[in-house]
Amino acid sequence: MISIMFSLLLVPLFSAVLIFLIPNSRKEIFRPIGIAFSLITLTQCVYLLFGEFAKTEFTILSTFKWIQSYGINLHFGLSGMSTLLLLLSSLLVFVSLLSIGKDHSESKGFVGSLLILHFAINGVFISGDLISLFIFFEALLIPMYFLMGIWGGENRRYATIKFILYTVFGSVFIFIGTVYTAVLSFGVNGRLAVDFETLSSLSLLESQSKTLFLLFTFGFLIKVPIFPLHTWLPDAHVEAPTAGSIMLAGVLLKVGAYGILRVSIPFFTEGFLAYKNLIAILSVIGIIYGAVVAIAQIDIKKLIAYSSVSHMGFVMLGISAGGFLSIEGAIIQMINHGITAGALFMLVGFIYERRHTRKISDFGGVKISMPRYAAIFLFTSFASIGLPGLNGFVGEFMILMGSFNSYKILTSFAAFGVVLAAIYMLWAYQRMFTGPIKYEENESLSDLNSRETASIVPLVLLMLFIGIYPNYIESFVIQEASFLSDTIAMFKDLK
């Protein structure tokens, strides 16, 4: 199991190096190599799903001595939530490699950056201590900087710098939090031990716990992003290339929520109890605000970006409610949103490659020229709205049901987010796909080819599978969710 865990790091890194070494004259093999290696990683993740750590809480499996005179070690481990997110990121890297157009797939830098991004994301999810978590969290920025900077849209410079500065600003707080925790741990253990096992036995004063919770959570919330820290997200999504958007919406946003679930809540629970109401209010504002702003968008990519703000608001509401059901729902919603938002961005990418516009008003009646595309788009929209029987419903329903006990009024407001989602998604669908064809350019659009279909179908199947049989995905997170909710309940009782 340990060797598989490390190969999740080494295989993407190795494949990226391999691609950088291949001369540019053989540019047609960049994509096959990338796909082959991401398939290896995907298979390993599926194998992890059946392994012994797929349903447990976080277990540290391996330790490296890093700086011995300070007693800093690096730890790596696995848990149910990590396994699911690793699987999600591997799947998304695989399908985005399959889906990207020729000008991207034949670029060494693009495929290489995507694989380095994969390496860093995997690193985040197997990190067993604050320092390695921070290292990989920041390392994510390098490939994203190049992906957005080189292959982004027209306004990419502004969007990239904004994205980088927002994230770095957030990670400064995580950094200070890490340092503070390390120094506190030094007082108890005699060394700067910040691995998750040591931290869970570290007893903190209430004021320390509050400060640390604020430091870590602020950094992670920028990444989630929560209202009002979300403004980097629409810019980044609009300017990023398709594969970058898929990874950004699919996995990078989850890194923030993952950090809160992994670090902020279990170790600084008192802080969580003190500030959870604030987070819940902000998330509900985010749900409504994101949805309302999405309705008003004329750019389909920006619409989906704002819908991400709304959907991640559900995740944060579920987390802040802190019950078993709501946290379980939040984890499942993280996976679901990764699948649906990834699929939506991929679909937008397909039509952007054909028409080179993302304006909703430039389309209309596309259903006639691209029937298969329209069907898949509608299906994915339904999943995103949360139609029963599809994956979006499962997570949002669990979150709403789980949060209702703690926040009756807030949850009632949040439920409107589902209705608003139906408005913006279906209205956009109506304007883009139904009715007569308004512009000549849209008549000759070719439907999805077999490569594009192959890249979207796995995601569509997963939407259906999770929607019909949510028990399966739930079984991986039960332990972790119950551990988190128990911790929260215990601290509540202590109060």
Residues binding other proteins (CB under 8 A): 65-70, 131, 134-136, 138-139, 141-142, 145-146, 149-150, 157, 161, 164-165, 168-169, 172, 175-176, 179-180, 182-183, 186, 192
| 150 vs 292, beta carbon nearer other proteins | 150
- Rounded to whole angstroms, how far apart are CA atoms 2 and 8? 10
DSSP 249: I
Integer angstrom CA distances of residue 351 from 308, 348, 372, 451: 20, 5, 12, 14
Token representation of residue 240: 């990023």
CB of 16 to other proteins, least distance (A): 13
Residue 130, judged by CB atoms within 10 A of its CB (0-12, 13-18, 19+), counts as buried
- Rounded to whole angstroms, how far apart are CA atoms 37 and 420? 40
Q: Are 61 and 78 in contact (CB under 8 A)?
A: yes
CB of 171 to other proteins, least distance (A): 9
| 51 vs 153, beta carbon nearer other proteins | 153
Integer angstrom CA distances of residue 17 from 20, 33, 178, 352: 5, 11, 31, 30
C-beta atoms surrounding 200 within 10 Å:
12
- C-alpha dihedral sign at 441, 447, 453, 459: positive
CB of 460 to other proteins, least distance (A): 35
Most distant CA pair in the chain, distance: 73
CB of 240 to other proteins, least distance (A): 14
| 139 vs 464, beta carbon nearer other proteins | 139
CB of 176 to other proteins, least distance (A): 6
| 169 vs 439, beta carbon nearer other proteins | 169
CB of 97 to other proteins, least distance (A): 22
| 29 vs 183, beta carbon nearer other proteins | 183
- Rounded to whole angstroms, how far apart are CA atoms 133 and 96? 25
| 132 vs 384, beta carbon nearer other proteins | 132
- Rounded to whole angstroms, how far apart are CA atoms 220 and 217? 5
| 70 vs 472, beta carbon nearer other proteins | 70
Spell out the alpha helix ranges (H) of 230-370: 232-239, 242-247, 253-259, 265-267, 269-295, 300-321, 324-355, 366-369
CB of 135 to other proteins, least distance (A): 4
Residue where the block lists tokens 């670090």:
263
Residue 370: partners with Cβ closer than 8 Å, 6 or more residues away: 351, 445, 446, 447, 448
DSSP 429-489: HHHHHSSS--SGGGTTPPPP-HHHHHHHHHHHHHHHHHHH-HHHHHHHHHHHHHHHHHHHH
Residue where the block lists tokens 């600084």:
268
CA 359 to chain centre: 25
Amino acid at 261: L
| 183 vs 278, beta carbon nearer other proteins | 183
CB of 17 to other proteins, least distance (A): 13
User: CA 464, 470, 476: angle at the middle one, nearest 5?
Assistant: 125
CB of 168 to other proteins, least distance (A): 5
| 144 vs 488, beta carbon nearer other proteins | 144
| 134 vs 382, beta carbon nearer other proteins | 134
| 110 vs 324, beta carbon nearer other proteins | 110
CB of 183 to other proteins, least distance (A): 5
CB of 210 to other proteins, least distance (A): 16
CB of 14 to other proteins, least distance (A): 16
| 169 vs 413, beta carbon nearer other proteins | 169
- Rounded to whole angstroms, how far apart are CA atoms 479 and 328? 9
Token representation of residue 417: 């987010």
